[in-house]
Structure 1
C-alpha cells in the first residue's frame, strides 16, 4: 500500500511510525505548505516532498492519504483526496461540522472509498481492556459511566491565539471533547438526555472567549453518564470509571492502566484484602508492560513505544486491514463514527449556549502604516514584550510570523502589521524586509538534531544577514543566549566581551546553533559590513512566561523540580520587560555594530530563593531535589550507547559533562558594558524581580485556574 502524509507537524511522526512498521505499506509522499518540514519528514523514507496537494495527487498513485492538518482544513483536503481516488485517514475531529462530515461520507460512498478517523485513545491497551469487560458483560449491566479530562490547554493561556482551538468558543470542546465522546459512544452509546454547563470563561486576545471547564450529565438508557473537562492548570488526570452490577473498571489513560474490581469468594474482611492485592498485581503487570514497550521502541521494534504511539499504530493497522479487506471494519474509526462524534459535540456546545459561529472580526483601523521596524519572532514570550516596548516608544511595527496572529494586530492600535513569513524562505524574508530600517531576529526552532539546527536556525540567520545587506537595513539585532557561554564551576566572571564557550562543539544543540548564528552574522559584519548587534538575554522571567522555568531546574511537573547542582548560587535572572528595553536600546545606541551584550540583572536570587518565593506567592509546596552534575552526566552517558546501537537521531551528540555543568550558572555575570554602551538599567532589586518576575509569571498560571 502506497501512503502519503499531508501535514508534517508533531503528530506526523506517530503516523510515520505506523506506516513504516506495516510490512505491506510504504510512505511515498509528504505534503506541507512548509516544504522544509515536508522534506525533513520524507528524508530517509525514500518519499518525495511536496508543497502542493494537487501536484502530489497528480504525480503519485496513492492508496491512503493521512490528513494531519488543523480541523477546519480537513473537509477541503479530504474531499480533494477522495475525488482523486484515494482512501482517507484523518486525525480527529473528523471535520469542523456535521455538514462537512456528511458531505465527505457521501463523496466517499459515491467513489467506493473509505474514511478512517483516528480516535486513537480508544485503541489504548487500557481502554481496550475496559471495553472488553464492558462489551463481554463481565461487569454486568452498566448503570454509571464517568469520563474525565483534567489537563491544561496551554494555548488558552499563552497562545498562539490564532490556533483553531481558541478561535471560537466551542472549538476546544470539539478538539478535546471528541476523545471523550468517542469513548462514550463506544462504551455506552448516544445519550437520551443531556444537561451541559460550560464555565470559567477566559478572554482571548483579539476578542474571543474560551471556556476552561465543561460538565455534561445525562443518561443512555438506564446508564447515568458524567463527562468533565477542565483545561486550566493543575495536576493532569484522564480517567474512565464504569460501574456495573458485578464490578467496576477504572481506566487511567495517562498511566495506561485499567483496574477491574470484582468480588471474590472470600469473606468480607478477606475479600477486601484479596481485591486490594489483585488490583496491585494488575497495576504492576501493566506498568511493566508499558515501560517494556518504551524500551523495546529504542530498538525500533514494531508495535512498541509510548502508549500514545502504540495506540496510533494500532488504529492505523486496523484501518489498513479494513482497506485491504483482511479484517472487518472497526467501528471506532469508521467515518460514520466520526460523524456521530461531531454531531454529539455540536449538541453539547448548543446545550451549553456556546456559539460555534465565527465571531465577526473587530473593525480595524483603516489608516495605512509605514513600519520601519521588523520583529521576527514577535509572537513569542520576549517578542510580545518587545513589540509592546516598541509601540510605547512610538514605533510602527511589522511582525513576521509563520502563522500570522490577527489578535496582535488588533491590540496594536493600528500601529502593528502582520505578515506571513517562513524563516526558511528567502522570498518570504525579502518581502518582510521591504521598507524596513531595523530588524529584530528572535525566532528559534523546535529542531532535535544538529543537521536540523543547521538547516532551520543557522542557515536562515545567514540568509537574513545577506538580505539585510542587500536591502540596506540600518541595524540587525540578533537574539542569542547566555547558554552559548560556559557558566559552570571555574568560569569566573562573564562580561559582555567574553567569547562563546571555546568547547561549544560539545555543548547542547541549542547553545551551539545560537553561537553559530552569531558567528555567521558577525562574519558578515567583518567581511561585508553587516550592521549587526548580538544580544544574549539571561534567564528571562515575567508576565506571560512560564513560572516553572528550566533555567531554575528540571521540572518534572509543576510540583517537582530537580536542581542543577545544589541551587545555592545566585542566578542570572532578568525581567522580560528589561530585556525588551535592552533590545530597543541595542537598536538605537550609536556605533555598537559588531558588539555582543549580555542582558542580565545583578545576582539577586538563587534557585532555592526562586522556588521559595514561588511557594509563598502560589500557596503550594514544591518538592525539591538537589542533584549533582555528575548524576545528570552519567544518566546521559548511560543512554548514549543505546542511541548509537539503534541509530537514534540524537546519537551523534556525545554526552558532555561541561554542558551539564554550565547549567548550574556558577559564573558571575557583569553587564557593565550593556549599562554603559546601551544606557540599559534593569530593575536591580530582589523585590522587583520577585514581584514582577516570579509573581508576574505565576499570575497567568494562577488566573487560568480561576
Structure 2
C-alpha cells in the first residue's frame, strides 16, 4: 500500500474541511479525491487540497485515486456508501452517527471484516489531547476509585427554532439523539466499557412547522463497570457546556472538551484554615496552566490548532499511523467501538416514552397545488414567512429547495417543493412554467469573490434569464441594506442613496448583493426585465435567532459585543412586515424597476433591544461595546497572517468603512415603501417588542 494513505472525501459540506485540514496535517495521509453531487462544491474543495473532483462514488472508485474514504454525507446515506466502498477495497471512516440503526452499523462492520478492510467511526473528540490525558490518569488510578460520571453536551441548536427544518436531524425526534449522542456515549464507552441504559427522558419540547414536536433536551441514566453515568444533552439557548466530569475517591476531574482543558479538584492534608485556600489556589494554577497552554498552541499555529481542529488531528493520527504502518487498529476508532456506541444509543431510544418519539403525520393532500408564485429560498427565515403569507392571501406556491422536504407539512394543498438546481437554466425555466411572480431570496455564503460571482451573482442572473424565458410577470429580488455605506450618522439613507463606487473593501456578502442588484437593474433597463429590489433591515420576530449577527458578535447565548457603542437606532423590522412588503412588491405594477428599503420605524438601539429582552424575558445578556477600529485592526492582522504566512488565496482585504457600516450609524428613511406600496410597518413600540421578543421564543423555552 502506498505511503502516505490516499484519502477521498465523500461529501463536500461543512464538516469536510475539518477532515481535509486534519488530513493535510497528518504525515501518514493525504487528500487525493473529493466527491459530491454538486460539481462546484466538489471542485472548490478539491482545489483547496490539490485533489481530483468527482460527482459520483462510482467514478471515484473506478479511478483508483484513493485507498480510503471518509463518508461525510447525511447519516441515512452512510451505511450504503460505506458498504459500497468497503466492497471496492477501500478503508472507510464514517462521520457520526455512523448509521441510523444498530443493524446498519453491524452490516458495515461485517462488510469490512469480509473485505479485510478497516471501518472507523468518526468519534473525533476521543482524539483530543486533554481527553487522552484524562484517560491515562484514570487508568493510572490518579482519581482513585471512580463512582460517578456526568457527561454533558449543552450547546444551542438554532435550527430547532429558526430552521432550516429540512435537515436530517429534525426529521424525527430520535435523529436528534442519534446526532448528538455519539460523542458523549463514545466517551463513556471508551472510559468504562459497554453501557447499561437505565432511564431516558426527553425534555423541553418545541413545535416545528405543522405542530410537529421535537425535544430540545435529553437526560439519560446509565451504568458501566460499576460507574453511575448521567448524560445531559441540551439544545436550548444556554452557556456552552460540553464536559466530562469524573468523581473519584482521590479527585474530581473535569474535561472541557470544547476548550481542550482538564482540571482536577483534589483534597489536601493541610489544616482547616489553609486547606480551602490551597484547594482554590491549586484550581487557579491549573486553569492558568490550561489557558496558557492553549494560547501558546493557537498563537504558534496561527489559530490552526483550536480544540476542534486538535480533536480531528488526534483522530487522524490514531487512524492513519497504524494503517500506514500495518499496526493494529486503535480501539477508540474501531468497529467494535462503533457497535457498542450504537447499541447504547438504540437502548436509550427504546427507553424514551413513546410520545417523545412520535412524528406528526403531514396533512393529507386533497388536491394538487396550482402555484402562481415561486419562492426561491423558501425554506429560510424570510422565505417561510413569505410562503405562508402568500398562502394566507389565497395563492398556491412552488418552493425551490435542495431537497423534497420543506417546512410546510401542514399545507400540502397549497405548497409544493421542487428540488431544482439553481445552476440549471433549463430546469429553472421548466419550474417557472405557469408562475406569475418569482421571489428570489437565495443567498450564497462564499469565502472568495470568484465563488460569489459563480454562486451568487451568476445564480441571480440565471434566475432572471429563466424568468424571461418562462414569461414571468414579476421578479422580486432581495438584496441587503448591508451594501450601503452606513458609517456616517449625519447621512440619511433612502433608496436614492447610491452604493459605494468601489466595493472591493466591503465584505463579500455586501459586495455580492450589490453586484447582483446592478446586473438585474441593467437587465431591466436593457431588456425590460420586470424586476423589483427589496432590501430588508435587521429582521426579527418568531422563527428568528437569538444570536443575530446583524447586531453584534456573539460569544454564546450569554454574551455579545455589539458593533460600536450601541447608542444609535438600529434598522430593525419585523419578519411579518417584511413578508407583507415583499407581497406588495410582487403585486403592485408601480414597483417594477424600483428598490425598497424594508426598514421599520425607528425604535430601538442595540442596548435598548437587550434591555427589552431582560425586562420581558428576565434574561440578562452580557453586553459590551465593540471598538470598530480595534475590530478592523484585528481583521487586518488576520488578513496579513492568512495571506503571507498561510499563503491563502482569494482573501478580501478588510476596510474600516466596512466595519463602521456594521454599526448601522446612518439612519434610514422608509417613506418610499409606505408611499408607493402602502406598506405600514409596526409603529407601536410595545407591540413591536412583544412580537420581536416576547412572542419570538428566542431562548427555546
Q: Shorter chain as normaliser: what TM range?
A: over 0.9
Q: 1:148 to 1:114 in 2, by over 3 A?
A: same
How far off is 1:269 after superposition? Answer: 4.2
Equivalence for 1:295: 299
Equivalence for 2:49: 45
The unaligned stretches of length 5 or more in structure 1 are none
Asked if 2 retains the 8 angstrom alpha-carbon contact of 1:167 and 1:208, the reply is no
Equivalence for 1:80: 84
Question: In the alignment, is residue 132 of structure 1 matched against residue 131 of structure 2?
Answer: no
How far off is 1:469 after superposition? Answer: 1.5
* Counterpart secondary structure, 2:92: strand
Equivalence for 1:194: 198
Q: Distance in 1 between matches of 2:52 and 2:231?
A: 43
Alignment partner of 2:173 out of 150, 153, 169: 169
Q: Distance in 2 between matches of 1:360 and 1:252?
A: 37
How far off is 1:114 after superposition? Answer: 0.5
How far off is 1:413 after superposition? Answer: 4.9
Question: In the alignment, is residue 216 of structure 1 matched against residue 220 of structure 2?
Answer: yes
Asked if 2 retains the 8 angstrom alpha-carbon contact of 1:433 and 1:471, the reply is yes
Equivalence for 2:382: 382
Asked if 2 retains the 8 angstrom alpha-carbon contact of 1:544 and 1:696, the reply is no
Equivalence for 1:118: 122
How far off is 1:80 after superposition? Answer: 0.7
The unaligned stretches of length 5 or more in structure 2 are none
Equivalence for 2:189: 185
The answer to which of 441-450 and 390-399 deviates more is 441-450
Asked if 2 retains the 8 angstrom alpha-carbon contact of 1:497 and 1:596, the reply is no
Question: In the alignment, is residue 308 of structure 1 matched against residue 312 of structure 2?
Answer: no
* Counterpart secondary structure, 2:698: helix
Equivalence for 2:620: 621
Equivalence for 1:405: 405
Q: 1:426 to 1:656 in 2, by over 3 A?
A: same
Q: 1:475 to 1:165 in 2, by over 3 A?
A: same
How far off is 1:544 after superposition? Answer: 1.0
Q: Distance in 1 between matches of 2:29 and 2:258?
A: 30
Equivalence for 1:576: 575
Equivalence for 1:589: 588
How far off is 1:670 after superposition? Answer: 1.8
Q: Distance in 2 between matches of 1:31 and 1:356?
A: 37
Equivalence for 1:691: 690
What are the residue-to-residue correspondences of 1:416-431 with 2, within 5 Å?
A: 416-431=415-430
Q: 1:148 to 1:647 in 2, by over 3 A?
A: closer
* Counterpart secondary structure, 1:626: strand
Q: 1:651 to 1:645 in 2, by over 3 A?
A: farther
Q: Distance in 2 between matches of 1:691 and 1:360?
A: 29
Asked if 1 retains the 8 angstrom alpha-carbon contact of 2:20 and 2:49, the reply is no
Q: Distance in 2 between matches of 1:636 and 1:375?
A: 36
* Counterpart secondary structure, 1:2: strand
How far off is 1:378 after superposition? Answer: 0.7
Q: For 1:214-253, what per-residue CA distance to the aligned partner results, in whole angstroms no more than 9, with x for missing partners?
A: 2222332432222222222211212211122322211122
Equivalence for 1:66: 70
Q: 1:220 to 1:32 in 2, by over 3 A?
A: same
Equivalence for 1:443: 442
Q: Distance in 2 between matches of 1:87 and 1:439?
A: 46
* Counterpart secondary structure, 1:494: coil
* Counterpart secondary structure, 1:260: strand
Q: Distance in 1 between matches of 2:463 and 2:96?
A: 38
How far off is 1:559 after superposition? Answer: 2.7
The answer to which of 411-420 and 509-518 deviates more is 411-420
Asked if 1 retains the 8 angstrom alpha-carbon contact of 2:147 and 2:248, the reply is yes
Asked if 1 retains the 8 angstrom alpha-carbon contact of 2:94 and 2:122, the reply is yes
What are the residue-to-residue correspondences of 1:120-519 with 2, within 5 Å?
A: 120-192=124-196, 194-206=198-210, 208-264=212-268, 266-267=270-271, 269-298=273-302, 304-354=304-354, 359=359, 361-408=361-408, 410-489=409-488, 492-519=491-518
How far off is 1:567 after superposition? Answer: 1.9
* Counterpart secondary structure, 1:655: coil
* Counterpart secondary structure, 1:332: helix
* Counterpart secondary structure, 1:80: helix
Q: 1:369 to 1:631 in 2, by over 3 A?
A: same
Alignment partner of 1:15 out of 12, 19, 27: 19
Question: In the alignment, is residue 91 of structure 1 matched against residue 95 of structure 2?
Answer: yes
Equivalence for 1:673: 672
Asked if 2 retains the 8 angstrom alpha-carbon contact of 1:322 and 1:328, the reply is yes
The answer to which of 491-500 and 571-580 deviates more is 491-500
Q: Distance in 1 between matches of 2:571 and 2:215?
A: 37
Q: 1:465 to 1:184 in 2, by over 3 A?
A: same
Asked if 1 retains the 8 angstrom alpha-carbon contact of 2:402 and 2:420, the reply is yes
The answer to which of 109-118 and 323-332 deviates more is 323-332
Q: 1:464 to 1:142 in 2, by over 3 A?
A: same
Equivalence for 1:701: 698
* Counterpart secondary structure, 1:184: helix
Asked if 2 retains the 8 angstrom alpha-carbon contact of 1:191 and 1:218, the reply is yes
Q: 1:592 to 1:218 in 2, by over 3 A?
A: closer
Q: Distance in 2 between matches of 1:23 and 1:213?
A: 40
Q: For 1:150-182, what per-residue CA distance to the aligned partner results, in whole angstroms no more than 9, with x for missing partners?
A: 222222222222322121221111111111111
TM-score under structure 1 normalisation? Answer: 0.94
Q: Distance in 2 between matches of 1:27 and 1:122?
A: 22
Q: Distance in 2 between matches of 1:357 and 1:35?
A: 37
* Counterpart secondary structure, 1:668: coil
Asked if 2 retains the 8 angstrom alpha-carbon contact of 1:449 and 1:509, the reply is yes
Q: 1:392 to 1:148 in 2, by over 3 A?
A: same
Q: Distance in 2 between matches of 1:621 and 1:362?
A: 39
* Counterpart secondary structure, 1:182: helix
Equivalence for 2:643: 644
Question: In the alignment, is residue 520 of structure 1 matched against residue 524 of structure 2?
Answer: no
Q: For 1:440-496, what per-residue CA distance to the aligned partner results, in whole angstroms no more than 9, with x for missing partners?
A: 110112222222222211111111112211221111111001111112215512112
Q: 1:31 to 1:348 in 2, by over 3 A?
A: same
* Counterpart secondary structure, 2:624: strand
What are the residue-to-residue correspondences of 1:534-613 with 2, within 5 Å?
A: 534-613=533-612
How far off is 1:548 after superposition? Answer: 3.8
Q: Distance in 2 between matches of 1:692 and 1:9?
A: 35
Q: 1:189 to 1:294 in 2, by over 3 A?
A: same
Asked if 1 retains the 8 angstrom alpha-carbon contact of 2:90 and 2:117, the reply is yes
Asked if 2 retains the 8 angstrom alpha-carbon contact of 1:126 and 1:258, the reply is yes
The answer to which of 457-466 and 148-157 deviates more is 148-157
* Counterpart secondary structure, 1:505: coil
* Counterpart secondary structure, 1:545: coil
Q: For 1:122-147, what per-residue CA distance to the aligned partner results, in whole angstroms no more than 9, with x for missing partners?
A: 11122111111111222222211221
Q: 1:501 to 1:645 in 2, by over 3 A?
A: same
Q: 1:207 to 1:579 in 2, by over 3 A?
A: closer
Q: Distance in 2 between matches of 1:23 and 1:220?
A: 36
Asked if 2 retains the 8 angstrom alpha-carbon contact of 1:239 and 1:252, the reply is yes
Number of equivalenced pairs: 697
